[in-house]
Structure 1
Amino acid sequence: MKRPLRSGYTTGACAAAAAKGAALLLRDGQPAGTVTIALPSGEEARFTLHRQEREADSATCSVIKDAGDDPDITNGAEIVATVASLTGESSVVIVGGSGVGRVTKPGLAVAVGEWAINPVPRQMITAAVRSVFPEPASVQVAIAITNGAELAQKTLNNRLGIVGGLSILGTTGIVRPISARAWTDTIDAAIDVALACGSTTVVLSTGRTSEVVAQTPLQLPEEAFVMMGDHIGYALASCSRKGVAEVVLACQFAKLVKIACGHEQTHVSSSELDLQMLASWVRSEPRISGLESRARQANTARQLLEDSDNDSALIELVAVRARAFARKLAPESEVKVLLAGYDGKVLYFA
């Protein structure tokens, strides 16, 4: 019997916990083993504190992020907060430190030029510090992520316009295991950035290989290219909802067949059924009806395409059906299909 998947905490929740630990150390002069913070839902969460250092007018504390069973690039990262006393009017000033990025492109939740610490984490950090230093105290909170710049190289942050490190994120404080939320949030953010940068066309690719193939003929700014992975339905609906004028679906043949078969999620394991459906389409198309037996015997869609020597009628048959399905999901956008060949060439674009 499989054990239940374990939830974890966002970078925002970890930053708030580290900030509270640092505030307590600054106030009391004694390190605490754990802290409890309030999450946006009203629940409370307890965090074990890691590194703790006290100086004359500041204190530093860190939390090791536990993302639970979610495959998160920041799982195990050290989230660090330094709280320092300020003079002047009552305030909690939040800044970024080493490993936290800055926003360089419009369309994100934080303005250009600001540290990439999102609004809800800012609220959580402020509340955590205020529970220790109530008004009218004035303090600065600097949030850092150990090795954050290196970890950021494994994300899409640079394309989104977050440079120099990672973002401090989270709307609930909790990371749900193996959920698609992190990916779909990134899709939404990427589309927002594309629109804010003036792009009227968004290229949705299922993977980096397809994206690279699409970049040369389309000659669009990098912000226009959005990696959607398997989230076809979500990405198309998001483009339509946000008013994207033109959407280009960039993918290879196997994914294109899945879209043509009506799958909003292309990770679904129904390859055999998809090939049988494709075979029935081939049978009804006189130009390629001779490929029916190959379609029924093929192990993969890629095998059929290669066995057909990239037959243009076969490609068009699938592309037209895929485009028709995509247009149902994105009725407010004009949808085109770009088929990336397995040899790195564009096989179809219309």
Structure 2
Amino acid sequence: MDSPPPPRDRRGMRTGFTTGTNAAAAAHAATLALLSGVWPTSVPVLLPTGETTTMVPLETALNGQTASCCVRKDGGDDPDVTHGALICATVRSASQPGLWLEGGHGVGRVTLPGLGLPVGEAAINPVPRQQIHANVMAALETLLPDAAAYLEQHGLLVEISVPEGERLAQRTLNPRLGIVGGISILGTSGKVYPYSTAAWRASVEQAVQLGAYHSPHHLVLATGARSEQYAQQIYPQLPELAFVEISIFTGVALRACVQQGVSKASLVAMISRIVKTAQGRMVTHVAGNPVDFAFLAQVCGEAGASAALVAAVAQANTARHMLELCQAHGNMAPIERLTDLALEQSQRFVQRLGGQLALEMILVDFDGTVLVRRSFT
């Protein structure tokens, strides 16, 4: 029997629960079973927000000094790669007093400094660590008169594992971040919100954090895989970790650069992302951020384009179409102006953060040719 379905949000979509919440639930149930000899049919789970939910142990095993439990992660209506995965915890007696946490099979291990976790540690982020600890303590407190006193005399080791974690990790940024062998145990609120892109944003922030550690003077922010490939050709002297694929999260990446004290950031993008950024969009997803062709036509006019080009751009189908029209007319001035505007918008964003970040904006064509390059120091 799986856990009760998560609640729905205002849009009627189901919220879900993070890998951290599932790990905490499994650890809670396994702790109860180890000390009582009986598996609970369900367990209350404390969330980092102070809320509680209820989860059901799915696969269990109790053998002397070891109790193992798995719960199935329900990500709600969020299309996360870990949706449906088993998240497991094994609790056993430890040789030293206290509560100890380890990562087992399918949980990634940190191999590079700069992620906020020691090299060699399991990739269980700080908030999930606290959440697992809190839920194990809650389990102890239901059985013992003084849980803290018990742990002064006895030890418990909690090992989190994900049977399919190594396979699932290949569909995440973990290999890129130097997290090997499995997924990360994540979550700040304990919940997963449908299409909130929270995990996506967090991975960009983590990549900037790692990049800043290894290349603090200069990071290159690329909006996609091809842009990143072209960026590496532009800056072959920089280490691999200096290149961060930011996808739609220009603002998130710039904010992270400011927070990490990066000296310079170069944004490398193709025309559609340049256009969105020039429009002041610091999240450049197509949904909710359509290209404003009236704006593009206005930019063309301000750049001295012919009436024919202005009219053609006003009727363009895509940002790429606008670029092709400018190339066909032999007039790249509007494209240069758009790149200037994208740089100016990014600089304003950084200034509002109170940051000191030198910026560079590089527009590349679809074959990697650098079309426009602008900088602001």
Distance between the aligned counterparts of 1:84 and 1:345, measured in 2? 58
1:230-284: CA deviation from partner (whole Å, max 9, x where unpaired)? 2222322332333221111111101111111222222254545x22111112123
Instruction: Tell me if 1:255 matches 2:273.
Output: yes
When normalised by structure 1's length, the TM-score is 0.92
Deviation at 1:61, TM superposition (A): 0.4
Contact 1:282 1:289 in 2 (8 A): no
Residue 236 of structure 1 corresponds to: 254
1:18-64: CA deviation from partner (whole Å, max 9, x where unpaired)? 01111222223232221112222222211111110122221110010
CA RMSD of aligned residues (A): 2.0
Q: 1:66 aligns with which of 62, 66, 74?
A: 74
Q: 2:361 aligns with which of 334, 337, 350?
A: 337
Contact 1:254 1:301 in 2 (8 A): yes
Unpaired runs of 5+ residues, structure 1, are none
Number of matched pairs = 347
What are the within-5 Å matches in structure 2 for residues 1-350 of structure 1? 4-88=12-96, 90-133=97-140, 134=147, 135-136=150-151, 137-219=154-236, 220-267=238-285, 268-269=287-288, 271=290, 274-286=292-304, 290-309=308-327, 311-331=331-351, 332-350=356-374
Deviation at 1:345, TM superposition (A): 3.1
Give 3-state SS (helix, strand or coil) of 1:295's partner. helix
The letter for the 2-side match of 1:19 is A
Deviates most, 317-326 or 196-205: 196-205
The letter for the 2-side match of 1:148 is G
Contact 2:216 2:263 in 1 (8 A): no
Give 3-state SS (helix, strand or coil) of 2:258's partner. helix
Contact 2:18 2:73 in 1 (8 A): yes
Give 3-state SS (helix, strand or coil) of 1:256's partner. helix
Contact 2:269 2:362 in 1 (8 A): yes
Deviation at 1:107, TM superposition (A): 2.2
Give 3-state SS (helix, strand or coil) of 1:6's partner. coil
Distance between the aligned counterparts of 1:269 and 1:61, measured in 2? 42
Give 3-state SS (helix, strand or coil) of 1:203's partner. strand
Deviation at 1:73, TM superposition (A): 1.5
The letter for the 2-side match of 1:124 is Q
Identity across aligned pairs (percent)?
40
When normalised by structure 2's length, the TM-score is 0.86
